[in-house]
Structure 1
Amino acid sequence: MRRGRVLGALLPLTLLAAGCGIRATEVVEAGEPAIVQVAPAGQLGMVLYFVSSSTASRVMPVVRYAEWAENGSGSGLTYGEKPPAGAAKALGLLFAGPNRAERDAGLRSELPDRRIKIGVELSAQGVRVALNTQVTGLSEPARQQLFCTAAQARTADRGEAVTVTGTDGVIGPARCAV
């Protein structure tokens, strides 16, 4: 009788140890994350990173579009005053903050809201950004806004190292964590 109880108690443990027929496997490399073209045909865009108020200060990508339109100048491109032009333009728009639709969607910026002189140098070591403002006291979300926007302006995979120099020192090199 006692032997039957012991066997009855060991049976669930034996099944658990057997794993119900699931075999152990090695780690399977699946490659890089998917990259999706987000700009519809006929539009040019750049990706900026703002802070979501609803997800504990998580940095979120936003696509800003420049639309083709008849604007009388013959260029066919309208985007505020000037068309987007690389990393410096993307960072300028980032410092300008979210537009009304982005704010209505719960996005904000942790970067200072003022006109900043921006210099961008692209090299084999990554992106070097020079700003005429203090940078060492920026919050982590603000730093990620800078790193991700500058890296995205350089390459679509945000894998570039970014170094930001300000009036009070240097932050980075760092990579976008999004």
Structure 2
Amino acid sequence: MRRGRVLGALLPLLLLATGCGIRSTDVVEVGDPATVEVAPGAQQGTVLYFISSSSPGGLLPVVRQVDDPSATSSSGTGDDGRSRGKQLALLFMGPSRAERKGGLRSELPMSSDQVSVTTGQEGIRVRLASGVNQLSELARQQLICTVAYERGQGTTVTVLGTDGSIGPARCSV
């Protein structure tokens, strides 16, 4: 009886030591991780960032459908300051009626001021014909994230206004 108990106690250890016949292998590289487009539809419109109380970071990307997608999105090879200016004009007009009903809002002032956008080695520069230092942090991020969306998270954006500048900064969303 005692011999059966000892054998029963040693059996699990023996199985663990032999590994049940499974050999170990090295790590097998299979490529880059999968990517998912979170805000699809940029080809049919433009992405704008508005404030949402239901979003953890406070901002929510919104795909705004436009009649002429080429008017608001630029190609990956170059940057068209006029198209970004049109994109920012949509941002400064604020959320649409349907977007407001969905709980979105903007802290950017409604403005029809001239906006110019240029791209250089130091990042994207946005020049407004109004002050920028009085903008709240959420309003600043709305502007920075909307401009930086097409170029990616690491893009730096500098916003110049009549009373100074913001940045260079990155989108925090």
Please classify the TM superposition score into its range, dividing by the shorter chain length.
Answer: 0.5 to 0.7
One of 63, 72, 76 as aligned partner of 1:84: 72
C-alpha contact 1:45 1:66 (8 A) present in aligned 2: yes
Match of 1:38 among 28, 40, 54: 40
The amino acid of 2:169's aligned partner reads A
For residues 38-90 of structure 1, give each alpha carbon's deviation from its aligned partner in whole angstroms, at most 9, with x where no partner exists.
129xx6211100001344770110001125xxxxxxxxx4x8xx943532111
SS in 2 for 1:136: coil
Q: Distance in 2 between matches of 1:106 and 1:166?
A: 29
In structure 2, the CA distance between the partners of 1:57 and 1:83, relative to structure 1 (3 Å rule), is same
1:121 counterpart SS class: strand
Task: State the distance in 2 between where 1:102 and 1:58 align.
Answer: 15
Task: Write the distance in 2 (CA, Å) between the matches of 1:33 and 1:99.
Answer: 33
The 8 Å contact of residues 95 and 116 in structure 1, kept in 2 or not, is answered as no
- Unaligned segments of structure 1, at least 5 residues: 1-30, 68-76
Measured in 2, the distance between the counterparts of 1:100 and 1:110 equals 16
Structure 1 position 60 matched with structure 2 position 95: no
Are positions 1:133 and 2:134 aligned together? no
- Give the superposed CA RMSD: 2.5
Once the two structures are aligned, what percentage of the paired residues are identical? 48
- For normalisation by structure 2, the TM-score amounts to 0.68
- Out of 107, 110, 114, the residue aligned to residue 110 of structure 1 is 107
Q: Distance in 2 between matches of 1:144 and 1:35?
A: 23
- In structure 1, give the amino acid aligned to 2:72: P
Q: Counterpart amino acid of 1:170?
A: S
Q: Whole-Å Cα distance in 1 between the matches of residues 49 and 157 of structure 2?
A: 14
In the comparison of the two structures, how many residue pairs are matched? 132
- Alignment partner, residue 20 of structure 1: none
> Structure 1: which 4+ aligned runs deviate by more than 2 Å?
31-35, 53-57, 82-86
